[in-house]
Amino acid sequence: MEDKILAALAQPKKAGEVAEATGIDKKEVDKIIKQLVKDGKVTSPKRCYYEAVK
């Protein structure tokens, strides 16, 4: 699931938009995004938006 989320975050998006694009439940997306931020794979360029680290 992380791969799908990282692919969806090629451009900055909200967690809800990622959930829509991937078909994964929003709560699950929120949990995975938080872990990806901790791992340094995702950044938050502005409040509530996330983007994969390039």
Does 54 score more than 90 pLDDT? no
What is the phi-psi region of residue 48: left when phi exceeds 0, alpha when psi lies from -120 to 50, beta otherwise? left
The strand pairing partners of 52, in sequence order, are 42
What's the whole-model pTM score? Answer: 0.90
SS in 3 state form for 13-26? ECHHHHHHHHCCCH
6-44 pLDDT per residue, tens: 999 999 999 999 999 999 999 999 999 999 999 999 999
Q: What is the number of domains present in the chain?
A: 1
Range of the domain at 45: 2-52
List the CATH number of the domain containing 9: 1.10.10.10
What is the phi-psi region of residue 23: left when phi exceeds 0, alpha when psi lies from -120 to 50, beta otherwise? left
What is the phi-psi region of residue 11: left when phi exceeds 0, alpha when psi lies from -120 to 50, beta otherwise? beta
